[in-house]
Structure 1
């Protein structure tokens, strides 16, 4: 399979297209760097890291810091629940409508914190962004028929290592494409982190415009595929 077929595989649903998932992954990496730099060390995606901080601060008796990291964890849980409500309550809707709903929820949430990132002196950015990441993680789980995560890389790294072993040691040629896909996903996530860290240091809160722009591009991509699909049915 060549690069073009891998990026745009007409046999796959739009939310499993590599180009769509790479844009999600860039946003996932950006969010973690953004909240870590701008929100006092909170991770938007890596809730394992936030749980570690909660545990350490509990031992040290630092309750304000426990609350500081816990809000992101609870917001992530709520995001997953909202994603499940959308998935089950509106399961009769088309896949395109489902994707539109998930992307538009993310865009609206980002617009909220662009115009008002704190209420009653409470920084709502890590709360909202963790919510967005949970929706993204739960709603988009596959790329090119492969299980993947767009908001953190532990699972992707394990899968890449597995296919590296199969391709190099066991000489299984069918592992070449998954190896390249997982490697690309990890590279794009790191690029998102680098972009998020750099933009956050230079532009602070305004850096959040970057993931908003990327998600809008993804929405336009889905609309283009949807229109093409609809025209073929006529």
Structure 2
């Protein structure tokens, strides 16, 4: 046996690079879509706070309500996630089932009348809050990151590249850490930019980009739970 061959990295499905790519991509798509159609964000709640303050300063009252509702329903989803986890933490499939609301919401949004645009926003924000709690502490391989967002992951990416580039011993581990965060950030930006482009042709149906990636992530998580079972 050749002892110089690198060991194969074995990770759980929800700690894999592919799962991280799917969730980051979904976050970019969802945030840009909701900003275009509903004037609010669903994943980047700190962004909602900043935009809310800007709207208040400009007395743009019509765009204040969507952001307040998004923050409120996101919080409800997060709290619901805590309750579900406490009641079902022993049940292997509980994470899989908390992904179902956001999959269904993203699929049905294009069919709902325009007058229900605030309800559409709230349904996605609730599902996103649920996912944020469900996958708190999730890792891409061994690196902890935040799903569906990029701000904290971007800072970690810069930090890891700094350590790698300034280190005298440029180990493969340091490079791998930097690459993991880079993959998450690029996936989020790709989802955001692709949504903006595809929206020109598909209109409201572009949210199905997120539906597809949410569903793939659901299948990965469900499959992993089945193997553990």
Q: TM-score band (shorter)?
A: 0.7 to 0.9
Q: Secondary structure at the match of 2:98?
A: helix
**C-alpha contact (below 8 Å) 2:99/2:127 kept by paired residues:** no
**C-alpha contact (below 8 Å) 1:27/1:214 kept by paired residues:** yes
Q: CA deviation at 1:86?
A: 1.4
Match of 1:49 in 2: 47
Q: Secondary structure at the match of 1:105?
A: helix
Q: Distance in 1 between matches of 2:99 and 2:33?
A: 19
Whether 1:18 and 2:17 are equivalent positions in the alignment is: yes
Between stretches 172-181 and 104-113, larger displacement belongs to 104-113
2:144 pairs with one of 141, 147, 164: 147
Q: CA deviation at 1:229?
A: 4.8
Q: CA deviation at 1:38?
A: 2.0
**C-alpha contact (below 8 Å) 1:44/1:133 kept by paired residues:** yes
Whether 1:188 and 2:187 are equivalent positions in the alignment is: yes
How far does the alpha carbon of each residue in 1:111-144 deviate from its partner, in whole angstroms, 9 at most, with x for none?
44243255x6553222222222222222223221
Match of 1:91 in 2: 89
**C-alpha contact (below 8 Å) 2:102/2:123 kept by paired residues:** no
Q: Distance in 2 between matches of 1:138 and 1:146?
A: 18
Q: CA deviation at 1:162?
A: 1.3
Given the superposition, is the C-alpha separation of residues 221 and 62 from structure 1 closer, same or farther in structure 2, using an over 3 Å criterion? closer
Give 1:1-234 correspondences, 5 Å limit: 5=8, 9-10=9-10, 12-39=11-38, 41-94=39-92, 97-116=93-112, 118=114, 121-140=116-135, 141-171=138-168, 172-173=170-171, 174-229=173-228
Question: What RMSD, in angstroms, separates the aligned Cα atoms of the two structures?
Answer: 2.5
TM-score by length of structure 2 reads: 0.85
Question: Which sections of structure 1, spanning at least 5 residues, go unmatched?
Answer: none
Question: Which sections of structure 2, spanning at least 5 residues, go unmatched?
Answer: none
Q: Secondary structure at the match of 1:124?
A: helix
Q: CA deviation at 1:197?
A: 1.2
Q: CA deviation at 1:184?
A: 1.0
**C-alpha contact (below 8 Å) 1:37/1:201 kept by paired residues:** no
Q: Distance in 1 between matches of 2:99 and 2:116?
A: 28
Number of equivalent positions: 221
Q: Distance in 1 between matches of 2:120 and 2:6?
A: 37
**C-alpha contact (below 8 Å) 1:117/1:124 kept by paired residues:** no
Q: CA deviation at 1:54?
A: 1.8
Q: Distance in 2 between matches of 1:126 and 1:89?
A: 27
**C-alpha contact (below 8 Å) 2:98/2:130 kept by paired residues:** yes
Q: CA deviation at 1:156?
A: 0.8
